Structure 1
Amino acid sequence: MLEEFLRPGAVLYEDNVEGWQQAVDEAAQPLLDAGTIRPEYVDAIKESIAKPGGTYMDLGSGVALAHARPEAGVVQTSLSALHVGQPFLLADDPDHPITTMFCLAAEDANKHLSLMQALATFLSSEANQERLAKVSSSQELESVLTAVEQ
């Protein structure tokens, strides 16, 4: 399911990032490179996370969803993923340690819903959550995200 939204090269692994801002930059870079988002979309994500009561999604189990409104710079619906070996704190909040960040770009409400449904289906599986937590390379992450057993 997720593989229809993931572009080649959109699945990344890093041992460590300097913080949530770098995680957003790294997670968004494949979408920038593919031309599915514009730089202002990344800025909108960061602004949303940084403001008090920011609109970001900590999905639990160390997973976060970085996104902004489509009009902020989405060109085409797409998804990327970054997994890190050492957790970073979303919005610098110790209550939100994150190891996997998805960057979601949806061009409209319908695409948004189908992408969110695919992601929710994937993350609702405890087996997928366990496999995701053990990832140690971009190849492993891609294998977990595109496994048929979702």
Structure 2
Amino acid sequence: MTRMLTSHLNESTLLFAEELPGWRDAIELVSTPLLEQGRISRDYVDAMLESIAAGGTYIDLGYGIALAHARPERGVIETGMSALWVRPEVLLNDEEAHPISLFVCLAAADSTSHLATMAALGELLSDDAARDSLLAATTTADALAVLTAGENR
């Protein structure tokens, strides 16, 4: 597998936080690297917040992982991804049924540019051991070790 994941998820886009007040704070924080890199506009962050608040718990992939995203026309400038580990978990849309400990933010510039990266992420998350290791990461080095191992399979 090519370096699909680590080309987007790297030292500048992997974040860790403790004691966040809630899911809105998690979305704001996971978006920060993409905003700072000029990959998304503020409108994209607002679109994700609006979507979740309107019942968008469909971004819950299971296992405590959420894939935050919105439509490209809402402010994607360039394709990118970021990730945020939160401890303790926060409730997506304040719903008990959706505890999230890992938020992945996807900004796709168009409908095809992110497909290979999403396939790589899906493959990694479908591997129980790799997914558990990724969820257990507490540092950037931990996360990168799992992502890199996934690419070298």
Find 2:43's aligned residue among 31, 40, 44. 40
Equivalent pairs: percent with the same residue? 45
- In the other structure, the counterpart of 1:124 is 126
Question: Structure 1: how far apart are the matches of 2:32 and 2:58?
Answer: 18
CA deviations 1:64-91 (Å, max 9, x no partner) are 0000000000011100000112100001
TM-score, with length taken from structure 1: 0.92
Q: Per the alignment, in what secondary structure is the counterpart of residue 36 of structure 1?
A: coil
- In the other structure, the counterpart of 2:14 is 11
CA deviations 1:2-30 (Å, max 9, x no partner) are 11223541001112211000000110000
Contact 1:87-1:97 within 8 A present in 2 as well:
yes
Contact 1:37-1:76 within 8 A present in 2 as well:
yes
After the TM superposition, list the runs of 4 or more consecutive aligned residues in structure 1 that deviate by more than 6 angstroms.
none
Question: Structure 2: how far apart are the matches of 1:43 and 1:149?
Answer: 36
The aligned amino acid for 1:49 is I
TM-score, with length taken from structure 2: 0.90
Gaps of 5+ in 2: none
Question: Structure 2: how far apart are the matches of 1:19 and 1:100?
Answer: 13
- In the other structure, the counterpart of 2:100 is 98
Question: Structure 2: how far apart are the matches of 1:63 and 1:57?
Answer: 8
The aligned amino acid for 1:146 is T
- In the other structure, the counterpart of 1:133 is 135
Question: Structure 2: how far apart are the matches of 1:90 and 1:50?
Answer: 9
Contact 2:47-2:74 within 8 A present in 1 as well:
yes
Asked if residue 29 in structure 1 is aligned to residue 32 in structure 2, the reply is yes
Q: How far apart are residue 136 of structure 1 and its match?
A: 1.6
Gaps of 5+ in 1: none
Please say which of residues 80-89 and 128-137 is displaced more in the overlay: 128-137
Question: Structure 1: how far apart are the matches of 2:36 and 2:100?
Answer: 24
Question: Structure 2: how far apart are the matches of 1:75 and 1:34?
Answer: 10
Q: How far apart are residue 142 of structure 1 and its match?
A: 2.8
Question: Structure 1: how far apart are the matches of 2:103 and 2:24?
Answer: 11
Contact 1:38-1:74 within 8 A present in 2 as well:
yes
CA deviations 1:63-122 (Å, max 9, x no partner) are 000000000000111000001121000010100000000000000111132222121111
Find 1:49's aligned residue among 26, 49, 52. 52
